[in-house]
Structure 1
Amino acid sequence: MSVNPVLARAGALQAADRFEESKAVLAPHLAGEPDDDWAWQLLAVAHERLGEYEPAARAATEMLRISPGHVGALILLSRVLLCLGRQPEARAAAEEAVRRAPDKWSSHYALSGVLIAHATAPPADHEQAYDAAREAVRLAPHEPDAHKALCFAAVRTQRQDVAKQALVEWLRLDPSNETAQAMYTDAMAGGPDVTAAQAAEMYSAGLAGAPQSAMLRSGLDEATYRLLRGTRWLALACLAAAGVMIDLFATSKDPTLRELPVPLGNRVWVLMVMAAVWGFGALFRYSRMRRGVQLNIRSLVRRGRWSRIAVAQAAWTMLCALLISQVPWTDRSMPEALFWAGLVVPVSTMLYDRRKAG
């Protein structure tokens, strides 16, 4: 059977991602042959890929008018109706596709996608989505999208082990898929024993392979914010060292206070300790980080309000530590005031700002 040259050209244009040109080719053809179901399907696909969901739904409906119960058209219609927020109609189309083609994995894939689209859907819907995804994997274990559906449905139903297995299989079958790469990186970086620096490195490496991933960018920002929050602990360590030097922590067991002002040698020694704290705790680690992490640290300080607050608090505490340790005080009242000022400012937000965005 010969293929209509117009449809062949439209299909070739779509294979080259030239969907606008494909629409221009199909429009006059459909004007002359309005009952060409294959042309309607090509037009629906073109509209869908361009994000034109209303015209895509109309084209899929036309195809179903010509070929009632066409499974491919039902699946396509389900997808575009879901994008339009018409979930009940999308579900009905996907369920009809499963009823007509229970042995076709893409029918179960479409149904699972509809049922897990909303996190607020009833738990029974999520369970049904999980069962549909498992059926899709059973019917087509070689299809990456089947494992993708199982991964998403397992996450919705709190089956984390199944989700991880499905994700690994999805990535094995489609190693270039940016969504799978991003999810895998996010899962690894979110482990309980992963430090902020390690997480930032993972997200930065993941972004090298999936630069458009909003998930990885968000994860990198979160890890970077954790790094910036950590600078306050370095400043507090320096503040404690300054307090020890000037005997602000005298106790009943050791009530003797050293004579003020503190000798220059002691002040220089504490300054060296502070330099070592920042050198090994921040600068050395920073110099060994990926370039992407370094750039994101600077970027997040510019655009993140809470990141700027954390850095400002660390700077304030360090200023207090330096004033306590380097000024030759003859009375302890002022150093004590500086110590408490340097302590209260960062501690005032440390208990709750970890839940803030960077």
Structure 2
Amino acid sequence: MTALHPTVEQAQALIDFERYDQALALLGRRIAEDPGDVRAWVKIGYCRFRTDGPQQAMEAADEALKLAPEDYGALMLRAQTMVHDGGWLHVEPVLRDAVRVAPEDSYARAMLADAVWRGALVRYALTTGARKLSFSETELVSREASGLAMEALRLGPEDLYAHEVAQRIASHVGNGTVADQLDEAILRIDPTHPGALARQTEKAAKAPGVGAGRAAELYADALAGQPDSPFMQQQLDRATYRLLRGTRWLALLCLVLAGAMINLFPSDDQPAPELPLSSGQRLWCMVVMAVIWGFGAWRRYRKLRSGVQLNVRSLVRCGRWARVVLAQSGWAMLCALLIAGPPGLV
């Protein structure tokens, strides 16, 4: 590869710090000195891409390709600007040129797999008129793209984008095992990857036998790594709401217990006890209700992690339905206490 001119190297350092305007000023002076500097044109294109948009970046890519039609950097710049401008269905020839120029580059091959897959799905849908493809149809249409994605993974075992493309294809063809393995690989490379973290957390939270408390803790852990994720916050709120609904069932259980104590539905075999009930009977019923609440509601809340506890308080403070559930629980418990409590409460 041709060595970069010192001015282009300085511009690259500015690009690394996202100081694109200063980098463009340097690159402009370099182009004035040597209009044939391909690397300078490519750097200009990337700066324009991040500041002015894909159209201006495309013009810089065209200038670079006029000077060097098989320059890998210029080809990838053109491909990225086309994709950003909604050109996934037209970018395949450019990416095939990039793969031909740099056959060992995993990123170009992964991007080609992405383009081939999207284009194949669209063409198949247009040809057949199908609005929704079955797993078998998707697998058939995605065969070439799957092969390209696997080759990209072979070339770049640490290439995050190659894993993302391969995971997306595996998920759409219904290969959940491979998709999960790829998600695990993605999280190994980037532990805070939004998509993989959301998918794996949701899978763990919805696994059989996972209760609301455990699900809330899983979403809280994921939210700690992605504090700005609306999906994680929404799922945490839902799990927290399920926890609050549990208090309503506990209150209803206490109410049923109190009702059973005075036998609300007497029969010939089991007549209703004479009122008022003895203090011992009332005390026993209240002890049982205290155990239900102590070990069912309060102890469960205390065992939650601090992040989930904070979300419980936040949801109660801001969520209307959460307050409704707590009001229902409180009303049921009040009725139970009026039934089972000392005579002075009745």
Quickly name the TM-score band, shorter chain normalised.
0.7 to 0.9
Please list every run of 5 or more consecutive structure 1 residues that lacks an aligned counterpart in the other structure. Answer: 330-334, 336-358
Where 2:288 maps in the other structure, the secondary structure is: helix
Which moved further from structure 2: 197-206 or 263-272? Answer: 263-272
The question of whether the paired residues in 2 share the 8 Å contact of 1:104 and 1:139 is answered with yes
* TM-score, normalising length: structure 2: 0.77
In the alignment, which of 269, 272, 276 is matched to residue 261 of structure 1?
Answer: 276
How far residue 239 of structure 1 moved from its aligned partner, in angstroms, is 2.1
Residues 16, 237 of structure 1: alpha-carbon distance in 2 compared, 3 angstrom cutoff: same
Q: Which moved more, 1:283-292 or 1:143-152?
A: 143-152
1:23, 1:251 → 2: CA distance?
A: 91
Corresponding residue for residue 88 of structure 1: 89
Distance 1:96 1:251 in 2: 88
Equivalent residue runs for 1:339-354 within 5 Å: none
Q: How big is the alpha-carbon RMSD for the aligned residues of Structure 1 and Structure 2?
A: 3.6
Measure, in 2, the Cα distance between the counterparts of 1:223 and 1:51: 43
Alignment gaps of 5+ in structure 2: 126-137
Letter in 2 for 1:195: G
Aligned to 1:294: 309
Counterpart for residue 235 of structure 1: 251
Identify if the C-alpha distance between structure 1 residues 94 and 265 changes in structure 2 by more than 3 Å, giving closer, same or farther.
farther
Q: For residue 197 of structure 1, what is the aligned residue in structure 2?
A: 213
Deviating more after overlay: 274-283 vs 19-28: 19-28
Choose the corresponding residue for 1:150, options 166, 170, 173.
166
| Of 227-236 and 317-326, the range deviating more from structure 2 | 317-326
Query: Residue 281 in 1 paired to residue 296 in 2?
Result: yes
User: TM-score normalized by structure 1?
Assistant: 0.75
Distance 1:54 1:261, change over 3 A: farther
8 A contact 1:224–1:293 mirrored in 2: yes
Q: Count matched residues.
A: 328
Q: Distance in 2 between matches of 1:301 and 1:291?
A: 15
Shift of 1:256: 0.8
Aligned match of 2:38: 37
Contact 2:44 2:60 in 1 (8 A): yes
Higher mean C-alpha displacement, 227-236 vs 265-274 = 265-274
Q: Secondary structure at the match of 2:273?
A: coil
CA contact (8 A) 1:127 1:157 kept: no
Match of 1:322 in 2: 337
Q: Which residue of 1 aligns with 2:287?
A: 272
- Given residue 275 of structure 2, which amino acid in structure 1 is its aligned partner? L
In the TM superposition, residue 249 of structure 1 has moved relative to its aligned partner by 4.0
1:204-261, CA deviations, whole angstroms, 9 ceiling, x for partnerless residues?
2233334344443333233223222322222221222222122124456x43111233
Map of 2:130 onto structure 1: none
- Tell me, yes or no, if structure 1 residue 135 matches structure 2 residue 151: yes
Equivalent pair of 1:126/1:156 in contact (CA under 8 Å): no
Are the equivalent residues in 1 in contact too, given 2:82–2:91 (CA < 8 A)? yes
Secondary structure of the 1:229 match is helix
1:26 corresponds to: 27
